[in-house]
Amino acid sequence: MNNQVNNGSSSTSNESVQRMVETSTAMHHSNQMAIAQSMVHRPVNTIKAYSAKQEEWKVWCREQGFEDGYTVSDKKLSFFLMEYVSKRGSKYRRNDDGTPVALGRESILAYVKAISDMCNTQKALGWNTNGVARGPLVRTIVEQSLIITDIE
């Protein structure tokens, strides 16, 4: 009868799977600890600046109804910069006619840095398989903001 199972092979296979699961779990835990540690040692002003901009990103993504939530991509970040950040202008300064003052390159870069940081965290945790946040579209927007700032 061939109903017998080769217990030696099955046992080795189970041990191998168990080892892979344990290694994967340990690696995931280690990655989470590294990210948490880097956030703890981050300067307070960076935390404040990034948190506000990242929260704006999350709210905007919710309002847009993206299927992938607030997962960062070059396309989505460039859309955010063009359709939200640039159009909104300065939150605090107004022109004489009451319209918001256009944001300069450094203000736009502050958003890029904050959202890129979120992208890096997502990638480290395995939640984001997209390319880099500062891809060709975002770089073009930043370069254009430099040209516009120089003209004004």
What pLDDT, on the 0 to 100 scale, is given for residue 150?
A: 43
Residue entry with tokens 């995931």: 28
Instruction: Report the alpha-carbon distance of residue 112 to residue 103 in Å, rounded.
Output: 13
99-147 residue pLDDT tens: 888 888 899 999 999 999 999 999 988 899 999 999 999 999 988 876 5
pLDDT in tens, 71-103: 999 999 999 999 999 888 888 888 889 888 888
Q: What whole-number percentage of the chain has pLDDT above 70? A: 89
- Taking the alpha carbons at both ends of the chain, their separation in whole angstroms is 88
- Element (H or E) spanning 151, and its range? helix 136-151
Report the alpha-carbon angle 23-27-29, nearest 5. Answer: 120
Q: Specify the pTM.
A: 0.72
Q: What is the pLDDT of residues 62-78, one digit of tens each?
A: 999 999 999 999 999 99
Query: CB count, 10 Å around CB of 111?
Result: 24
